[in-house]
Structure 1
Amino acid sequence: MKTVMNWQEWASHDATALAERVQQGEISAAELAQQAQAAVSLINPQIGSVVELFDDAIAAPQTDGTRLDGPFRGVPFLMKDLGPGIKNRLQEQGSKFMQGNRPAEDAFLTTQIRAAGLNIIGRTTTPEFGVCGSVENPEVYVTRNPWDPAYTTFGSSAGSCASVAAGIVPLAHATDGGGSIRIPAGSHGLIGLKSSRGVLSIAPALSDITGFVSTQGCVSRSVRDTARFIDSCRGGAPGEFMPYWESKQPYSEMIKHDPVPLRIAVSHEWGNYRSDAHFVSELERTARFLKELGHHVEWVTPQVDFAQAFEAQTTCYISNFAQFIQRLLEKKGLSSPPEALVEPINIRLWQKGIDMSYSERWKMQDAFNTVSRDLGRFFQQWDMILTPTFSKPTPLLGEKKYLTLSDNPDVMDWFYNLWDIFSYTPLASLTGTAGISIPLAWQQSGIPLGMHFQTRQANDGQLLQLAAQLERALGGSFIRNNVPQVHVSR
C-alpha cells in the first residue's frame, strides 16, 4: 500500500503541519488519505479502533464536497460512529440494533467539517449508543488502548482516541455528554476539549437545554489542531433555539500568546468522590508546575451541591436516552428493545425512563439551574478549577460493572459506579461550561493521566491558551519521546 512518508515522519506531523505541506505542493490530499489507509491496515488488527474506511473518499478527497482549499487542505479525518450523520454512509452507533442504518443527509457539523477541508475517510468505534465507558462487546467489536492493549480505552470516543494515539490520523471527531471526549483523551495522552454549550452545533438533534449536555468536538495531539478545528467548525445551524458564542479573536491566534496569570483552584474532593492516592500526587505536581508558570493556585472546591448535580445528570441521561430508544422502536414498529440486539443496561435504561413524569423532569431542570448558577458564582472568583480527568486507574479490559453488558439489575447503582470513576467531567456537561483534558501526568500502569481544567461559559479560548502555554513549557509536545506500545512508528 502506497505511503509518502516513513512512519516516524507521519507520526511527527499534526494536522496543521500536514495541511501546510499540501498547501506548499509537497504532497497531495489523496496521498495523505492513502497513508492513513495504510496506517489502518497496520494498526487496526491490534486495537480495533476503526469500523470502516470509505474507499471513494480515500481515492478522491473532494468526494461529497470536501473543500480542499479549506484550512485543513484535505487532511484525513475519522468520524466517531455516533453524533453527526454522514449522508448515505453507515452509522451503526456500536449496536447490533442499528446495523444497516444510513442517515439520509449530512448533519450541519458534517458540512462544517467538510468546509474546513477535513476529508472524512472512515468511522471509529463507540460503545452501544455511547452510553458506557469502554468499547468491549465481542459480538460487535472490542477496542484496546494502544498504550497497553490489556487495558480499556475508556469512552465513549474510544476509537477516535485510540486511532489518534496510535498515529493513524492526527485528528478525529469525538462527542462528549459527560466526559466522552475528555475521559478517553485523558487515558491516551491527547488533548480533549469539551466546548461550551453554543459553540459546535448538535443539529438536527434536540433543541432542548438538556439535549445539549452532549456536545461535539475532536481529539488531537496538538493544541493548535484543536484550536483550528473549533475556529473552522463552530457556529449554529439554521433554527437553533439559543445564541451561539463568537470569539473576538480566532483561537488559533489566541494560543500564540500566554494567558495572563490565572487564578486556578485545585481539588480532587468532588462531593462523595475522591481520587486515587497516586492521582493526588500527580495533581500536586501539576499544581506546582502551574505556580512555576506564574499562576495563582489554591486548593479550593466549588460550593456546589454535588449530590444534587449527579442525581439530575443521571435523570437527564435516563430520560433522554429512553426517548431516543423509543423513537427507534417506533420507526421499526416494535414495542420494546429486542434482547438479542440491545445490550442489557440499555434496555433497563429504556424501562426506567420511558414513563418518567413531567414532575421528575421539572425537578431535574430546577437542579440544572441551581447548580449552574452556583458554579457561575464560583467562576466569578476563579478563572479555572483543576482536577484529574478521572478519579480511579484505567481498568483492564473485562471490568463488566462499567459496561452496558453488565447484569446489574439496578440502573441507578450502575450509573453511580460510573460516577465513582468518572467523577469530575459531568459537571461541565450539566452546566454547559467548557472543560479540557491535557496530558500532563501518568498512571502507575504507564497509561497517560489527563489533568482536567474547567472554566466558565464561552471562556474556551483561555483554556486553549493555557494548554498552549503548558505545551510550549514542555518543549512543544506533551508526550515527547513516549510512544504507545501499538503505534505506526514501532
Structure 2
Amino acid sequence: MTKIIDQEDGVGIARAIAAGEVSASEVLEEAIERIEELNPHFNALVYKAYDDARKLAREVTPESSALAGVPFVAKDLALDWAGMPTTNSCAFFAGHVASSDSEIARRVKAAGIIPVGKSNVPENGWCYSVESRFHGRTLNPWDESLVPGGSSGGSAVAVATHMVPIGDASDLGGSIRVPAAINGLVGLKISRGRTTMGPGVVDLWSGSAVFNCVTRTVRDTAAYLDVIGGALPGEPYALAMPDVSFLESSAVPRDRLRIGVMSTRPDGNAVDPEVRAAVEAAAKLCETLGHEVADFDLRYDWGNIREFFVRITATTATMMFEAAGHAMGRQVTSADVEPVTWEMIELGRQFSAVSHAVDTERLRQVGRQLTVDQLPFDVVITPVMPVTSRPLGWYDMSSSIDSYHDRLLEDMQFMVPFNMAGQPALSLPLGSTSSGLPLGVQFVGGIGDEAVLLSLATQLEEAAPWKDRMVPPAVRGAGTNAR
C-alpha cells in the first residue's frame, strides 16, 4: 500500500488528517515503519521517542495548526525537548536528559507536530558533515561516499528519505542551507530576531545563530515558521510577526522583483562550473517568471571575516563549555571532546574581553555594509557552496584546527556573511550535478523579508517542481511507491 508520507508533504498530511482520510496515529506508524526500515543503515536518528509520540498522536486536534499530526524529528543540538537527551553528539553531555522544553519545542508540540526522536549532528554542530565519535556517521542517501551536509545532516537525511516530512534544523554558518542543498530540500535560514532560542539562551553568537527547519516543499517551511516564529519579550533583536501568515503569503506571487545574481566568489574568482551553471539557470528561471534580473558583483573581504569569525566562535565555544561545566559539576577535558573542539576551547581562552568586543563590532560593521550593498535588490541569488558535495572525511574533526578550518571555512564564504548581517537566506533544490546529485541555489532577502523569499520560492517550485524529482536512490530502492 502506498504511504501517505511518500505522497504528501506535511501540509498535505495535516489536511488529510483534518478531513478524516487518515488519523495522526496511522501517519505516525508509517513514519515509524520507515525509520525502522532505513535508520539502521543511514543513522539519521540517534534517539527514538515512539511512546511519547504515540501519546501525542492520539491527542492531536486538527485546528492546532496547518501541520497538526505531522511527524517530525528534533535536532540533538542546543534546544531542550523534555524527556529527551541533549547530547550535542558530545561525550561531555552524555546522560543529560532535558527536564523541560525550550520555547520552540513547546510551540511545536502545541501546534500538534509530533516529535518521533532526535537527529544526528556533528559534535556541537561545528561541521558540514555528521561523523562524530559519539554518535557515528550519518550517510548521504544520494551517494554514500559523500558527506550528508551538516550540522543538520541527520534531520536532512530523515526528511530526504521520507522518514518524516519536517526536520528541526539550525544555522550559524550554513547548517540549514548546506544539508538542504546536498539532499534536495528546502532550507531557510531565518532573519535574526525572527524567533527565540529561549529560555536558556538569549543571544547566541550575537544573534547570528538561528533555528528553523528542513523540508521537501516551500509551504511546509512557511507553515513551520508560522509555528515557531516570534521572539520572547525583552529579546534584543525581536522582529514583529507579519499580520498575514507565512503560509498564506507564500502562495501569493510578488510583483516584479529586482534580483541580483552573484555567480563568482566574493573576491571575483570562479566557483565550480556546475555550481555556476545552477546559479545562472535559477536566474534565468526568475527572468522567465517576469522578474528583473541583473548581475551583481557583491564583494566583501572574506579573509577578514574568516579571522574574526574563528575568534568569535572560539570565544563563544569556551563560554558555553564553561557554563555547561558549572551546571554539570565538572569542567570539560580534552578526553570529553574531539580534537578540533578542544583546540577551539583552548583558543577561546586566549582572547580578552576587549578583543571580543572589537571582533563583535567588526561583525556589525560587515553586516551593515552587506545590507547596504544589497539595497538596490529585493533578492540576491548566490551559490550555497563554491563546490559540489565533499567526500566523507573531508571535514575531519580529529585533524588540527588549522587544517580543519582551511577546509570548512573555504566552503562557508557564501553563507556566514548573511548570518552576520541577520538576513534570511534560502537554499532551493533547483540544480543538479552531471551525475544527478542535488545542487542547491541560495536566495538572500532583506532583514525580515522571509515572506518575499517564500513567495518567490513558491513561484520557482511551481515552474520547476522538485518534490517528486528529489527522491534519493535509497528511498526508491526501499520501494516508496510499492508499499
TM-score (norm 2): 0.94
Gaps of 5+ in 2: none
Tell me the amino acid that sits aligned with residue 473 of structure 1.
Answer: A
Instruction: Give the alignment of 1:193-342 within 5 angstroms.
Output: 193-208=188-203, 210-272=205-267, 274-339=270-335, 341-342=336-337
Separation in structure 2 between the aligned mates of residue 67 and residue 370 of structure 1, nearest angstrom: 47
Tell me the amino acid that sits aligned with residue 486 of structure 1.
Answer: A
Tell me the amino acid that sits aligned with residue 432 of structure 2.
Answer: W
Q: Choose 220-229 or 302-311, whichever is displaced more.
A: 302-311
- Determine the structure 2 residue equivalent to 1:448: 438
Separation in structure 1 between the aligned mates of residue 189 and residue 220 of structure 2, nearest angstrom: 14
- Find the residue that maps to 1:381 and give its secondary structure: coil
- Find the residue that maps to 1:58 and give its secondary structure: helix
Q: Choose 92-101 or 264-273, whichever is displaced more.
A: 264-273
Q: Choose 304-313 or 40-49, whichever is displaced more.
A: 304-313
| CA 311–206 in structure 1, closer or farther in 2 if over 3 Å, else same | farther
Q: Choose 158-167 or 350-359, whichever is displaced more.
A: 350-359
Shift of 1:489: 3.4
Match of 1:489 among 465, 475, 479: 479
Separation in structure 2 between the aligned mates of residue 116 and residue 301 of structure 1, nearest angstrom: 42
Shift of 1:136: 1.4
- Find the residue that maps to 2:474 and give its secondary structure: coil
Instruction: Give the alignment of 1:50-449 within 5 angstroms.
Output: 50-61=45-56, 69-71=63-65, 72-137=67-132, 140-208=135-203, 210-272=205-267, 274-339=270-335, 341-399=336-394, 402-405=395-398, 407-408=399-400, 411-449=401-439
Q: Could you report, residue by residue, the CA deviation over 1:146-170 in whole angstroms, capped at 9, with x for unpaired residues?
A: 1122221010001100010011111
Tell me the amino acid that sits aligned with residue 393 of structure 2.
Answer: G
Question: Contact 2:5/2:165 (CA < 8 Å) preserved in 1?
Answer: no
Question: Contact 2:384/2:441 (CA < 8 Å) preserved in 1?
Answer: yes
Shift of 1:404: 1.6
| CA 482–338 in structure 1, closer or farther in 2 if over 3 Å, else same | closer
RMSD over equivalenced CA pairs, Å: 2.0
- Give aligned-pair identity as a percent: 27
Q: Choose 168-177 or 206-215, whichever is displaced more.
A: 206-215
Q: Could you report, residue by residue, the CA deviation over 1:113-159 in whole angstroms, capped at 9, with x for unpaired residues?
A: 11221011111100011011111135522101111222210100011
Q: Choose 448-457 or 376-385, whichever is displaced more.
A: 376-385
Q: Choose 217-226 or 243-252, whichever is displaced more.
A: 243-252
- Determine the structure 1 residue equivalent to 2:458: 468
Separation in structure 2 between the aligned mates of residue 316 and residue 182 of structure 1, nearest angstrom: 21
Q: Could you report, residue by residue, the CA deviation over 1:70-110 in whole angstroms, capped at 9, with x for unpaired residues?
A: 11222111101113201121111112222111122100111
TM-score (norm 1): 0.92
Question: Contact 1:134/1:403 (CA < 8 Å) preserved in 2?
Answer: no
- Find the residue that maps to 1:126 and give its secondary structure: coil
Q: Could you report, residue by residue, the CA deviation over 1:431-488 in whole angstroms, capped at 9, with x for unpaired residues?
A: 11100000000123422110001111001110000100001112xx324334211115
Separation in structure 2 between the aligned mates of residue 307 and residue 463 of structure 1, nearest angstrom: 29
Separation in structure 1 between the aligned mates of residue 332 and residue 238 of structure 2, nearest angstrom: 37
| CA 303–120 in structure 1, closer or farther in 2 if over 3 Å, else same | same
| CA 97–266 in structure 1, closer or farther in 2 if over 3 Å, else same | same
| CA 323–255 in structure 1, closer or farther in 2 if over 3 Å, else same | same
- Find the residue that maps to 1:290 and give its secondary structure: helix
- Find the residue that maps to 2:414 and give its secondary structure: coil
Tell me the amino acid that sits aligned with residue 187 of structure 2.
Answer: G
Tell me the amino acid that sits aligned with residue 354 of structure 1.
Answer: R
- Find the residue that maps to 2:334 and give its secondary structure: coil
Q: Choose 378-387 or 188-197, whichever is displaced more.
A: 378-387
Q: Choose 326-335 or 107-116, whichever is displaced more.
A: 326-335
- Find the residue that maps to 2:183 and give its secondary structure: coil
Separation in structure 1 between the aligned mates of residue 206 and residue 219 of structure 2, nearest angstrom: 29
Tell me the amino acid that sits aligned with residue 84 of structure 2.
Answer: R
Separation in structure 1 between the aligned mates of residue 125 and residue 151 of structure 2, nearest angstrom: 5
Question: Contact 2:77/2:125 (CA < 8 Å) preserved in 1?
Answer: yes
Question: Contact 1:326/1:354 (CA < 8 Å) preserved in 2?
Answer: no
Shift of 1:62: 5.2
- Determine the structure 1 residue equivalent to 2:43: 48
Q: Choose 312-321 or 301-310, whichever is displaced more.
A: 301-310
Separation in structure 2 between the aligned mates of residue 81 and residue 209 of structure 1, nearest angstrom: 17
Q: Could you report, residue by residue, the CA deviation over 1:310-334 in whole angstroms, capped at 9, with x for unpaired residues?
A: 3232222111111112222333444
Separation in structure 2 between the aligned mates of residue 431 and residue 281 of structure 1, nearest angstrom: 27
